[in-house]
Structure 1
């Protein structure tokens, strides 16, 4: 806010100065009046510089402090010149004492020192050569202009000692302006914003301009050339400080942009102004001096050399940009664009996706994630070059990589995918961490125009199936086409009512009495075609429709549980189980949805069991929070297919589990060796100790049922007792149980 007031004050003083000069050529007034804005302008600039220094730090703060010292000397010189004018009678050139000239020179030297000590940053040799030539062009142009200025000064003010001292002071101020311009051209990464430097540049013109105005205003003794320019010195200084303050918090331009826009116009403008000056001199005098002719020749040679170097620099820059456009910034590998263009010459396309990279990146941090990508890119390059020296290795985006192999399969690349999988067993070094990274791999081989698309299909199939390696074949295309068809039909099927629920009994051992049921969704199209759950459930999860489908399942199961309670009593079934996917657990609204369904149908929460997989909650986070919220509703939680996912006994402590369902693969080992029965035996002991119910899944023989009972299992489920049944058949079984009781 204070910076804005500085600008308004400096602008007011500059306008007042113009008004005083306009009035002074028509009427006289006290000669000290014009010095009020002349002193006020530099004083405001000093205050603005100090304010900019207070808001910055490091090299910026040092720079603005140094510039404020220089402007402070100029302000003191203005006060000193005011005293000279007020205490001396004069006609012609206004008096300027030695003290005043010394203060102007000191201020100029301090300003030049601040500029020269401002860091400028590094650059390439071409950029440095261009900058040197730019400086030379400006210096020669300034020299030609100075020679003309000196000649005019001598003709007008003579060669007295005071005139020479005045000329030295004014030339020093002009040099300060040239130094600012040179600094702007030479600095590739100056901490001071360019706008601030450009506002400081015109200050250098104010010195010579003041002597010109001295001559122009000499008929009016109450006016003064120095007083006429000093308010503008202050205004330019205040505007420079304002540019610095406004720049704070703004991201700097890219180095490349700064280099390319560094100002090819500066030497051209300097050359153009010099040419205009020489034309004016020639028109007025009819000749040019030796200095002017020689300087002009040198100037033209410098401009030609500068443009030649600039063209070479631009060509190198274009090569760099073209290279960067085809390569990944992080790893230095080829990027997707280059990869897609190079596929035409490949015999084999291999696409790789890093397993669980997002979890690693979130857990270890983005710096480690970036280091891991670089390390894997180096590993992949080494493997690919060993298989094919002409191999193209690319990072296609995120954690996806690609390899193009051009040699025939029997020339060494046939086992490339196998070596790629084997390498995943070796840890990578990433920012001080040893990380094991497994991969999904999709491979397409042959002489086909669409190898890239085929490899993408193979990779997609590998990710979807959880397998490590998938090679493209025609059956894959058919499966993916079927998957796409299922995805397109899912929502229509839900709207059309093509889904229905089956219920598989859970029995109590040893007598086999039904005590609970597990609900299972089925899809039968209107034409009678049955779509297996293994086909449509993963697609529903991938498309996100599982959330809407899951809401329908929960409502349908709660409605059916309420119907059984009304028909057979509240104790007919202890529990009705419903499966909930990992994607549903990421929905924070799931607990409210379950609570609403239970309340709508009048089913107590204790009669509903939510079955989840270990993998869904292994990582904790939002999924585990959702399970905890469901448990707090009073809903029972069961771990389904226990032992086949990310099995961890610690999960039984952190997750609010009420029951574990032992997977069929362990039940199949019953009756074999002790090693085969070990897990089933151990689980029942752990569950009993922790107060958990156990349910053995996939029981198909009476021998398995007997052995489970001997091991302590009291609940089982499987084809031995019943296959999944419609709700009506569960009703019939409940009726028979009631009659038997």
Structure 2
């Protein structure tokens, strides 16, 4: 692969071919030495042999062996050319230009070596239909060659007689011509070729040079100093260097691949050789008949045999194409990974179903987490295993499909009795490539007779908005809710651009004094018409549409700007922290840590003064969300787990997530001053936090009794309506200036 293409090969070959043409034209008007025309003639095979050798040194494998076989073949042709020069100078001239037995043997040997090299090159495909097709292709080309050879031999005999030297010349020329036919068959019949097709097409004309040389012998007979062989040999060099040049371009170009598929589709590739064969034979037979007025027995029999072979060839091609079309049709209707039906088939089955039936659409929740965390092999195995579970649960009359990604579909006759079994089965883990995986699903169900696919998709979208396993049955009210949600989403996008959002801040106080030590930022939406949109209405919509990322960036920047203002007005120690809530959707954005760092730097706020509040559910599965939290922690910001105690695995998260504070959910605060059982969790949580060196903030404190009891249990921070409601920045300014406790 280290040899370098010689840039001068092709230009020199062009010059030699041009020089030979000029010498032939000039030789018909003036006489000169008969050796002059052989200078470009000898250079032709020499250039081709060198170019083939160079192409071989730049390749490997079968392709290297191919070029390594045609290079010696051309070297033998070069020896034959030199031998013919010797014949020209030593043998007497007769009707046939002097060509000795040695020369003819060299030409025949070179042609046979070239044909052997071409036949040994793999052509792609080894099925029985392709093997039969290849045999028929060769037979077709042999018949064409036989018809053409019979006409050629008749012409040759009329012109040169039947002497031994004439027959030797015939054998040589036919052997050389066979090389051209072999190349044509190889290109047309091969499903793929190792060598670039352009290189093979440039090799094909070399085989025609032999028979053409005898034609030129007749044409140049009146000028003894000219020679038909010398006239064509420079073009052997030109075509050979062009073939090697195309191989070089293929290796150095952008598309480097070991095998180059044919551009023609399979059904068109099957027609190329029959069309070529019938067209060429028709022209040949018509020419002979117009010239002589009759056809020979060989020509009639050959044409008949050719038609039979073409019919057989097309029959095999049609059968192969039919098989191919069946395979393509099956692939279009089945999922490649699971073997289940595809979305296209499922949609057609739903549309064609008669009578009452049920469409169930299923989405595997957190599949991406499994796929990213355990690898795509486990993800694929999970999809296959879940498809098998669906097939078993659906029964023999169900249509089970993988609709794409981690979404599946079930078409069931009658009512959806299998849904209960489906949810019950999800309690059992699936074995995915050696891993036991529990699968939670979102399920959309539509029952009836019409438009069920769309209705089930609508139900699935609603099911996917919640947490945990959810089943949503379609009804008319669902459509209304989705329409309302779409309206809110449009208004949300407009309101964000129009600046209709603002932040309120709820104080976090220190117990028991009630002194303000921090604030939590809370977003509010006041429309231009004065109406207020509840966060419970627009936050879920922002999550679903992805607008939470843009809204969250605005909240972060606004909170940091306000923190900088409070630092300027009240000193750097007036507030220990300002908290910003970050959603699960935001944690999946890998740009979030950079966004936080830029906001802190832009407003000059220390990282330690910012607290990022996240939910347990957002980071429970780990993966990208947990990686984002770790990156935020490395920035120096504090991480607080909001609504602590209500998620999947709170205690486990304290070990795996870089938590600095926990915010105890209001539901546990409400149980204070009740029975020991009601207080047990609140007591346990503060003990765990103290042992792990974490801050605790009790949320939702609404009474003085709750605040007092929290102090007795060891809580040092709290927030809630008992201390203060969310308020605008000016009200926080007043509290900071007064330095009075906010507890009632």
TM-score when scaled to structure 1? 0.88
Find 2:43's aligned residue among 40, 43, 51. Answer: 40
Corresponding position of 1:460: 461
Q: Which residue is 1:155 aligned to?
A: 158
Q: 1:679 to 1:738 in 2, by over 3 A?
A: closer
Bigger Cα displacement from structure 2, 38-47 vs 710-719: 710-719
Cross-structure match for 1:494: 496
How far is 1:488 from its partner? 0.7
Equivalent position of 1:473 in the other structure: 475
**Match of 1:470, SS?**
strand
Who is 2:141 aligned against?
138
Hey, what's the Cα distance between the residues in 1 that align with 2:130 and 2:23?
47
The answer to whether 1:380 aligns with 2:393 is: no
Q: Does 1:70 align with 2:73?
A: yes
Matches within 5 A, 1:576-591: 576-585=578-587, 586=589, 587-588=591-592, 589-591=594-596
1:100-158 deviation line (CA, Å, top 9, x unaligned)? 22222221221122122222333555554444333322211111111122222223223
- What corresponds to 1:355 in structure 2? 365
| Structure 1 position 453, deviation (Å) | 1.5
Asked if structure 2 preserves the Cα contact closer than 8 Å seen for 1:195 and 1:240, the reply is yes
Q: Trace 1:78-227 onto structure 2 (pairs within 5 A).
A: 78-122=81-125, 125-227=128-230
State the partner residue of 2:720. Answer: 718
1:535-554 alignment, distance < 5 Å? 535-554=537-556
**More displaced stretch, 474-483 vs 665-674:** 665-674
Asked whether the equivalents of residues 194 and 260 of structure 2 are also in contact (C-alpha less than 8 Å), the reply is no
CA distance in 2, matches of 1:452, 1:667: 46
- Report 1:609-688 matches (<5 A): 609-616=611-618, 635-645=637-647, 647=649, 657-668=659-670, 680-688=682-690
Q: Which secondary structure state, in structure 1, belongs to the residue aligned with residue 192 of structure 2?
A: coil
- How far did residue 404 of structure 1 move? 1.9
Counterpart contact for 1:92–1:221, Cα < 8 Å: no
2:267 to 235, 260, 268: 260
Cα distance per residue 1:529-571 (max 9 Å; x no partner): 4322122113223334334433443444345556656776665
> What does the per-residue CA deviation read over 1:16-63, in whole Å, with 9 as the maximum and x for residues that have no partner?
222221112222222222222222222222222223222322211111
* 1:396 equivalenced with 2:403 (yes/no): yes
Could you list the per-position Cα deviations for residues 468-489 of structure 1 after superposition, in whole angstroms to 9, with x for gaps in the alignment? 2222122322221221111011
CA–CA distance in structure 2, aligned partners of residues 581 and 571 of structure 1: 28
**Uncovered stretches (5+) of structure 2, i.e. residues with no partner:** none
More displaced, 612-621 or 137-146? Answer: 612-621
Check if 1:272 corresponds to 2:272: no
Q: Rate the CA distance shift 1:591–1:502 in 2: closer, same or farther, 3 A.
A: closer
Closer, same or farther in 2 for the Cα pair 1:568/1:647, shift >3 Å? same
1:489-509 CA distances to partner (integer Å, 9 max, x unpaired)?
Answer: 113323444433333232323
Q: Distance in 2 between matches of 1:442 and 1:213?
A: 81
Query: How far off is 1:366 after superposition?
Result: 3.9
| In 2: Cα distance, 1:740 partner to 1:677 partner | 25
How many Å apart are 1:669 and its aligned residue? 5.6
What root-mean-square deviation, in Å, do the aligned CA atoms of Structure 1 and Structure 2 show? 3.4
1:680 to partner: Cα distance: 4.4
CA distance in 1, matches of 2:78, 2:130: 38
What secondary structure is seen at the aligned counterpart in 1 of 2:183? helix
Which deviates the most, 492-501 or 96-105? 492-501
| Matched position secondary structure for 1:201 | helix
The SS at the match of 1:119 is coil
Q: Does 1:408 align with 2:414?
A: yes
* Deviation of the 1:666 alpha carbon: 4.3
Counterpart residue number, 1:693? 695
**Residue 442 of structure 1, aligned match among 441, 444, 452:** 444
How far apart, CA to CA, are the structure 2 residues paired with 1:38 and 1:555?
A: 81
1:255–1:690 CA distance, 2 compared to 1 (3 A):
farther
Change in CA separation of 1:635 and 1:436 when aligned onto 2, cut-off 3 Å: closer
Q: Secondary structure at the match of 1:202?
A: helix
Deviates more, 1:316-325 or 1:77-86: 316-325
Distance 1:609 1:147 in 2: 95
State how far apart, in whole Å, the 2-side matches of 1:99 and 1:395 are.
Answer: 71
1:447-477 per-residue CA deviation (whole Å, 9 max, x = no partner) reads 23x2111111111112111242222122322
CA contact (8 A) 1:694 1:715 kept: yes
The answer (yes or no) to whether the contact 2:191–2:261 under 8 Å persists in 1 is no
Distance 1:178 1:584, change over 3 A: same
Match of 2:184, SS?
Answer: helix
| Closer, same or farther: CA 260–436 of 1 in aligned 2, 3 Å | farther
Kindly state the Cα deviation for residue 7 of structure 1 after the two structures are TM-superposed. Answer: 2.7
Q: Answer yes or no: is 1:534 the counterpart of 2:540.
A: no
**Which residue number in structure 2 is paired with residue 595 of structure 1?**
600
Query: For the residues of structure 1 that align with 2:21 and 2:506, how far apart are their CA atoms?
Result: 97
Change (3 A) 1:368 1:58: farther
The equivalences for 1:283-362 within 5 A come to 283-346=290-353, 347-362=357-372
Q: What secondary structure sits across from 1:465 in the alignment?
A: coil
Give per-residue Cα distances to partners, 1:619-657, cap 9 Å, x unaligned. Answer: 777766765666566644323223444646676567554
Classify 1:478/1:255 alpha carbon distance in 2 versus 1 (closer, same or farther; 3 Å): farther
Distance 2:91 2:521 in 1: 109
Match of 1:477, SS state, is helix
Change (3 A) 1:649 1:240: farther
- Choose 609-618 or 184-193, whichever is displaced more: 609-618
Is the CA contact 1:684–1:711 (under 8 Å) kept in the aligned structure 2? yes
Q: Residue 80 of structure 1: CA displacement?
A: 1.9
> Aligned equivalents of 1:96 and 1:270: distance in 2?
33
- The worse-fitting range, judged by mean Cα deviation, of 42-51 and 243-252 is 243-252
Cα distance in structure 2, aligned partners of 1:296 and 1:311: 22
Per mean C-alpha deviation after superposition, the further-off stretch among 112-121 and 578-587 is 578-587
**Once structures 1 and 2 are overlaid, which stretch shifts more, 142-151 or 572-581?**
572-581
Does the residue aligned with 1:352 lie in a helix, a strand or coil? strand
Secondary structure of residue in 1 paired with 2:643: strand
The range that moved more, 11-20 or 671-680, is: 671-680
SS in 1 for 2:508: strand
1:571-614 Cα offsets, whole Å, 9 max, x none, are: 55433322233444523442244225633xxx665544332334
Describe the SS at the equivalent of 1:178: helix
Name the CA distance, whole Å, in 1 between partners of 2:89 and 2:734.
119
CA distance in 2, matches of 1:281, 1:551: 85
Q: Is the 8 A contact 2:216 2:227 kept in 1?
A: yes
Q: Distance in 1 between matches of 2:700 and 2:360?
A: 39
| CA displacement 1:353-397 (0-9 Å, x = unmatched) | 22223333333444544444344334333333x1x51x3332322
Residues 584, 590 of structure 1: 8 Å contact kept: no
Q: Deviations over 1:399-453 (max 9, x none)?
A: 2222222x111xxxx33223333343444455565544432221111123x2111
Distance 1:517 1:75, change over 3 A: same
